[in-house]
């Protein structure tokens, strides 16, 4: 096993931006290279650990707080935790960084235009939000605070290019060889 040290790779962006797709492709690539990697995503955590939380600002903050703590535990165990969460508030992402430690937390902003996110929306969430059926939907009726200084800002490009850029960042920062 090729483990240098655990880390948290935190992918943030709007619903439909490609976070989970990139997360799984990155995990596959890291695993093929002999690294321990695990994907944490909003749907997975909301089906279990965070099942009782809604989408109010307070519940969103608690969802991200819990996700950040879990990701930090994975990193403590030597795993590269790849967290794919909208995580709309900077304060929540900053809290996840504090939980993991700044030296092993990497904030990756998947910056996809909302029009593209809506085009990709297989669940029809944007349509429902715009029709008023979903309250507090990030990017429509609830805010998204983009990172001010992410470790990596991804705009466009293929999934493979995104994975390559994230892997290069992890290598540069001594997480992987």
* Residue 2 pLDDT: 56
Tell me the per-residue pLDDT of 10-51, one tens digit each, with 9 for 90 and over.
999 999 999 999 999 999 999 999 999 999 998 889 889 999
Distance CA 24, CA 31 (A): 10
Number of domains in the chain: 1
Looking at the chain, list the stretches that DSSP marks H as alpha helix, in order from N- to C-terminal side. 19-32, 42-46, 57-76, 90-100, 114-120, 125-130, 159-172
Closest by Cα among 65, 2, 67, 77 to 34? 2
* 80 in any annotated domain: yes
* 2 in any annotated domain: no
16 burial level (CB within 10 Å; 0-12, 13-18, 19+)? buried
Distance CA 177, CA 171 (A): 6
Distance CA 99, CA 65 (A): 9
Tell me the per-residue pLDDT of 79-136, one tens digit each, with 9 for 90 and over.
999 999 999 999 999 999 999 999 999 999 999 999 999 999 988 999 999 999 998 8
Q: Which residues contact 122 (CB under 8 A, 6 or more apart)?
A: none
* 36 in any annotated domain: yes
Strands 105-110, 7-12: pairing is parallel
* 114 in any annotated domain: yes
Q: Which residues contact 20 (CB under 8 A, 6 or more apart)?
A: 39, 41, 43, 84
Local confidence band at 171 (pLDDT 50, 70, 90 cut-offs):
very high
Tell me the per-residue pLDDT of 144-166, one tens digit each, with 9 for 90 and over.
999 999 999 999 889 999 999 99
* 111 in any annotated domain: yes
* 128 in any annotated domain: yes
Helix (H, G, I), strand (E, B) or coil at 107: strand
**Residue of 87, 102, 141, 158 marked active site:** 87
Distance CA 107, CA 102 (A): 10
Q: Which residues contact 56 (CB under 8 A, 6 or more apart)?
A: 136
Q: What is the CATH number of the domain that holds 18?
A: 3.40.50.300
Q: Which domain holds residue 61?
A: 7-172
* Residue 87 designated active-site: yes
* 103 in any annotated domain: yes
* Residue 94 pLDDT: 97
Local confidence band at 3 (pLDDT 50, 70, 90 cut-offs):
low
């Amino acid at each position: 096993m090729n483990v240098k040290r655990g880390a948290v790779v935190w992918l943030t962006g709007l619903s439909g931006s490609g976070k989970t797709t990139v997360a799984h492709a990155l995990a596959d690539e890291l695993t093929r290279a002999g690294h321990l990697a695990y994907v944490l995503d909003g749907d997975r955590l909301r089906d279990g650990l965070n099942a009782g939380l809604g989408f109010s600002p307070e519940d969103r903050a608690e969802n991200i707080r819990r996700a950040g703590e879990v990701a930090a535990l994975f990193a403590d165990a030597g795993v590269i935790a790849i967290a794919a969460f909208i995580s709309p508030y900077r304060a929540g992402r900053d809290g996840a960084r504090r939980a993991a430690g700044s030296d092993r937390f990497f904030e990756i902003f998947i910056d996809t235009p909302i029009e593209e996110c809506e085009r990709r929306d297989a669940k029809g969430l944007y349509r429902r939000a715009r029709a008023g059926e979903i309250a507090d939907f990030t990017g429509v009726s609830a805010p998204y605070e983009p990172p001010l200084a992410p470790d990596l800002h991804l705009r466009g490009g293929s999934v493979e290019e995104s994975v390559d850029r994230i892997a290069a960042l992890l290598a540069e920062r001594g997480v992987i060889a």
